[in-house]
Structures are given as structure tokens and as C-alpha cells.
Structure 1
């Protein structure tokens, strides 16, 4: 149990990294508001985790939905202490595959979804004089490989937006970017291009568990208020 309970919002919490973050933080005693489109999975997660986790339907591509998500959390506890912008998609493909709908989906979720979260939570953080943004980016923000051009572009945008936020925010608001390497999750299931799907199966041979990323989030948010952990990169030991 933590000595200071926080109200933590987690987007994309129905599976993978988001579910692991929500479960770990709820288990540590924080009040977690878990958002995702698949509410059946959120309710199952709440049943496994206990009373500290509250499921809320959320579509990060819809700014009205994101505003309602943050408002729901504030109504429950009177505070919003941490927003973990985790929701993301990764339908990798070569540019010459011309999968425009998939590219736009990545931009909508990975970039606009992040901006919607910032726009919804920042007024609360400013009013209460404290808060913590945590962005789940990717090592794709730091490197580009064949098939990752658009995905890496969205994750670099997420990194850049979050770094800009850190510099612009009042010092009372902390900002952290966490960039996972290869992690066991459903992200690769959305890849429709056969070549990219095969490459990802090979690439993910040494994936680490989502809880490794959840542990990094926990470390960042549980530092003293005067400590701002700005960036963490977490890779499998075999990933270079």
C-alpha cells in the first residue's frame, strides 16, 4: 500500500501495457480510473484487481469522450493526479502498401488521442497546482525500420509533444515519457500486411511482459513531488 493514494487515469487499459499499469497501480493502493472501448475487458480487470479500479468507456479519438473520462474521475475523488496516455495502435506496413486508413488510424489514436488527453487533464492540473502526465511512447520514437515509418512518426510526435509539454508546464506539473521496446501485447495483431506481420513475429521472439512497463510508470509517479522523471526507455536485454 502506498502512503499517498493518487487518482490515476489510464487510457487503453483493456489489455497489454494499459491493463498491466492499471492493475499494478490499483494493487499499490492508488484509485485507478481505467478507460477503453472494450468495457467488458475493463470490468473483468476490475473483478480481478479489486475496488481500487473503476472502469469507464473511452474512445481517445473523440475529444468529448476524453473530457467525460476525466470529468468522471474528478467527480469520484475530487482530484485528478496522474494521466497515463497509453492508448495506441500499431498496424505496421511499408509505405508502398498505401494503407491510408491504417495510417490515419495511427495518427488519430497515437497523436490526436494524446492531445485530447492533455487538453482534458491540463486545466485540472493547473487549477489544483499539481499533476503528472505520463506518455507511453515507444522505442519507435527513437528509430525507424522498414514498415515502421508511420508508426515511428506518430511515436516521435508523441515524444515531441510530451517534451514540449514538459517545458511549457508550470513546475508543479510533472511530465514523463516512457518508451517500451518489444512487449507482449495485442498491438501486433492489427498488422494486416503479411510481410510486416512475419517480421514482427520474428522481432517479438524475446518480448518482455507488460508489467515491466507498469513498474516503470509506478517508479515515476511515486517519486517525491520535487523529482520529475522525464524519460525512461525499457527494452528486453536481447533487443538492440
Structure 2
């Protein structure tokens, strides 16, 4: 088994070829559209996510995504649906907030309203269960991770990607002031803009670190950690995950790749 912080080259081989500086710059530049033009931001992120999940699934199982059932926990209005359908997957977003489900006016057949903390699916019922930039918005992120593993079939893949609190985007729109405390940053945002931030600390935004996720991944009896790496960094910067302390600040978004036992 690989070191818990060292990517398994078998699993990450395909995706590592895509993890270039050009990709990193492109994704970073698109973040400014997340709230002002979400369809533009999430459109590009959708294709990158399909590449990520597809490459990891092929690396872990030897087969592609065609014919698989893919569950997206916290899938919102389903921006990723078309990209997954294009590669032959059955895409099922699960979202607890009805306003988020209908925010973009999209219609995704099979979308489910439900909580990530108690997924309304049978044990071992899906090939891939992933969550992108959601765990930091959940008060008990590793209860959600346990649920994601539960619904994944043995041999299937669970991919959890989340924003690290101490990284540059940890406070979301309240950053970089979150470094001085989440509540302070939220109050400062409200004073400056005359409204509460969308991501309110302690209600819809929580502190979660790289070490938290790695600790959970090592300890869970239901899955094997295949790889852990920074989602948006070029391949040559993946070593940052190996360094305690430094990873909390510089990794920004951690990907945990788990195979269901």
C-alpha cells in the first residue's frame, strides 16, 4: 500500500499528465466567476472534474466511466450533469437545499434531495461517489465521508475534494481575513458589503484541514486510501501534501482517493 500522503502512481498516472501549470492557471483564473457567473465557472470545472474522476477510476479499476453510476454529493443544480452524461455515466446529484437544486434553472433527471450526512441510497449501490468543494460547508464532514464510502460498491471509488481552512480560499468570499478568525471575517464582510456572506462561518462554512482528512482516511475500516494530492496544483507541487503544517497553508484543496473494501 502507498504511503498515506504519496499518490499511488498506478491510480494517478493518467491524471498527473493533465496536472500542468497551464491547467492550474486556467482554473485559478476562473474562480473569480464563481458567484457572478457561476455557469461559466462550473462549466469549465465540470469538464475538469470528469477528467479527474475518469482518470482516477481507470487507474484504480482498469475501465472507463461508461456504464457507471456516479453520485455527486452536494451537486447543487447539476452543473456537472452534461459532462458526465457525455462519457456514458449515469449522473446522480444529491443536494439538501432545494433553492440550490433549482438555482440555475437546470433539469437533471434522477436528482435527489437529501443530506450528505445520511445519503438516501443503499449500501454499495454506486460505482463512484464524489464530492467537490462541499466538505468545508458541512458541520461533520467525515460523517459525510463515511456515508460516501457506505454507498460505494466494493472496489468502487470514492473521491473527496475539499477546501482547506488555512489555505488562501479557506474563508471563501471572507478571505483572507478568515486567518484572523472565521467570525471576525464574517462580521467584517457584513460591515463592508451591508449583507451577510453567502458562506457564513459556523453555519455554512467550517474549519477543516488536510490532517483531518488524512487522519480519517487512515483510520476508516471501510476503504483504502489510494492517493492524496492537491487538486489544483501542477504535478510537480504534489509533494506539499507530505509536509505537515505546510500542507495546511499551501495545498489549498485536498483530494482524497479511496477504494471501497
TM over 0.5: no
Which TM-score bucket, shorter chain as reference? 0.3 to 0.5
TM-score (norm 1): 0.44
TM-score (norm 2): 0.41
